Amino acid sequence: MNTFYTEESSKIMKGYGWLNVLYTIAREGVFTNGNKNAIESVLKENLYKVFTYYSFLSSEIEYKKEAQKEYERKTK
């Protein structure tokens, strides 16, 4: 899973709103099913499930950022 963004790229992504959220989740392929493409699958999925998954991705990104900061503090 390649979801780790730098601080600067995260700021840029936030400026584009929900479309980037949908594309990010579609790229993960978690909800892709049947004869629909990844984006159609996300759009047809239960909104609660989609945002629950996005919340998971967001918290994982935040955790990785904080872990990296902690690692850098300890190795200096």
pLDDT at 8 over 80: no
Residue 42 lies in a domain: yes
Residue 2 lies in a domain: no
pLDDT at 40: 93
Q: What is the pTM of this model?
A: 0.65
Residue 24 lies in a domain: yes
Average pLDDT over residues 5-13: 59
Residue 1 lies in a domain: no
The answer to whether residues 34 and 49 touch, using CB atoms and an 8 Å cutoff, is: no
The domain of 40 spans 7-75
Contacts of 45 (CB under 8 A, 6+ apart): 31
Residue 59 lies in a domain: yes
pLDDT one-digit tens code per residue, 19-76:
888 888 999 999 999 899 999 999 999 989 988 998 888 898 889 999 999 999 999 8
Number of domains comprising the chain? 1
Quickly list DSSP for 47-58: HHHHHHHHHHHH
